[in-house]
């Protein structure tokens, strides 16, 4: 399967071609779940519970990628891409069984869009992730009192190895990340992931050694937008994330009563 062919899609989205592809060797049908190897997370003891978090993660990323591709392919809709900021609740990364998808599909697609952005002098890739926990968040919180308001810091690989991960052998995020981390302080300090700012001729493991803040084409607009969305309800919170979490949280609605009514109705049938 050629998963990195980012030319305009000719076949309608309703065609079976978009449900599966045939293996070039054995001609068997290959589905997206096969490519992501989610079946390897199913075992006799836990069943399919191990795959649930991975399915949620990949669906979230695929949904956003689908929006990028749809808007880019529709000529009358392409104008909207530079005007939309996509926000992911969490880092711009996919872990464990999904790392191949992150490094071999998501990252090349963003590199393709970045190259087109340079050619057409417009920012097509406005995608960020907001870290809520982890070693980078802990690091920034420890330094919060020493960071001046209005600061932006872009850590390179040496800094990451020395002050956050402590791992001096591997390259941080080499197979899992499709974003670059930076430390921001406006009214509050937070860790921001911004979609990779380089084209297909540059490798992630080389770029992260010496990232350049000037490569982020729309960073100024992104930061201005985030500043207008800051929220005091929780630490490092922003309105879109707070509103989305509130809508999907069962704890904020009478979930117990609803489940009781639903169970009784099902039992009475």
pLDDT tens, position by position, 175-204: 999 999 999 998 788 899 999 999 999 999
Total Cβ atoms within 10 A of residue 226: 20
In the chain, the percentage of residues whose pLDDT exceeds 70 is 85
Q: Count Cβ atoms within 10 A of the Cβ of residue 182 and give its class: 0-12 exposed, 13-18 middle, 19 or more buried.
A: buried
* pLDDT averaged over every residue in the chain: 82
Angle, helices 107-120 vs 49-73, to 10°: value is 20
Question: pTM of this prediction?
Answer: 0.77
**β 179-185/151-153 pair status:** antiparallel
Quote the pLDDT of residue 11.
52
Closest CA to 63 of 88, 95, 26, 29: 88
pLDDT tens readout for residues 61-74:
989 998 998 888 88
Quote the pLDDT of residue 95.
84
**42 belongs to a structural domain:** no
2 confidence band (pLDDT: 50, 70, 90): very low
Domains identified in the chain, total number: 1
In the chain, the percentage of residues whose pLDDT exceeds 90 is 37
Quote the pLDDT of residue 21.
79
Q: Give the CA count within 13 Å in the CB-facing half-sphere of 86.
A: 24
Closest CA to 60 of 25, 87, 28, 99: 87
Instruction: List strand residue ranges (DSSP E) for 29-185, in order.
Output: 29-30, 86-89, 127-130, 151-153, 179-185
**93 belongs to a structural domain:** yes
**Residue 206: strand, helix, or coil:** helix
**Residue 175: strand, helix, or coil:** coil
**β 127-130/189-195 pair status:** antiparallel
**49 belongs to a structural domain:** no
Q: Mean pLDDT, to the nearest integer, of 18-27?
A: 80
pLDDT surpasses 60 at 8: no
Quote the pLDDT of residue 162.
92
Residue whose token pair is 């003891």? 45
**96 belongs to a structural domain:** yes
Quote the pLDDT of residue 176.
93
Total Cβ atoms within 10 A of residue 219: 21
**213 belongs to a structural domain:** yes
Closest CA to 93 of 208, 200, 202, 3: 208
Q: Mean pLDDT, to the nearest integer, of 150-167?
A: 92
**33 belongs to a structural domain:** no
Q: Which residue has the higher pLDDT, 264 or 122?
A: 122
> Following DSSP, what letter does each residue of 70-99 receive, concatenated?
HHHHSTTTGGGGGG--EEEES-SB--GGGH
93 confidence band (pLDDT: 50, 70, 90): very high
pLDDT surpasses 60 at 5: no
Q: Mean pLDDT, to the nearest integer, of 119-144?
A: 91
**16 belongs to a structural domain:** no
Q: Which two tokens stand for residue 4?
A: 């990195």
pLDDT surpasses 90 at 206: yes
Residue-range definition of the domain harbouring residue 136? 75-247
**115 belongs to a structural domain:** yes
């Amino acid at each position: 399967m050629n998963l990195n062919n980012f030319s305009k899609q000719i076949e309608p989205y309703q065609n079976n071609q978009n449900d599966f592809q045939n293996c070039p060797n054995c001609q068997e049908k290959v589905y997206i779940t096969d490519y992501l190897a989610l079946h390897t997370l199913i075992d006799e003891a836990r069943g399919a519970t191990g795959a649930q978090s991975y399915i949620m993660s990949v669906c979230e990323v695929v949904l956003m990628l689908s929006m990028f591709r749809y808007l880019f392919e529709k000529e009358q809709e392409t104008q909207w891409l530079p005007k939309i900021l996509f926000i992911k609740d969490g880092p711009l990364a996919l872990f464990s069984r999904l790392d191949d998808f992150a490094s071999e599909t998501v990252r090349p697609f963003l590199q393709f869009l970045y190259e087109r952005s340079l050619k057409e002098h417009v920012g097509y890739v406005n995608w960020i992730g907001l870290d809520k926990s982890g070693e980078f968040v802990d690091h920034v919180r420890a330094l919060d009192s020493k960071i001046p308001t209005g600061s932006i810091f872009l850590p390179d690989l040496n800094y990451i190895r020395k002050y956050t991960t402590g791992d001096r052998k591997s390259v941080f995020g080499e197979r899992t990340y499709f974003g670059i981390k930076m430390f921001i302080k406006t009214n509050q300090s937070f860790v921001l992931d911004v979609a990779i700012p380089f084209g297909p001729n540059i490798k992630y493991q080389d770029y992260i050694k010496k990232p350049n803040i000037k490569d982020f084409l729309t960073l100024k607009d992104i930061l201005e937008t985030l500043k207008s969305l800051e929220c005091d309800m929780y630490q490092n919170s922003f309105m879109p994330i707070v509103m989305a979490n509130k809508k999907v949280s069962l704890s904020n609605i009478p979930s117990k009563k609803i489940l009781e009514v639903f169970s009784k109705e099902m039992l009475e049938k």
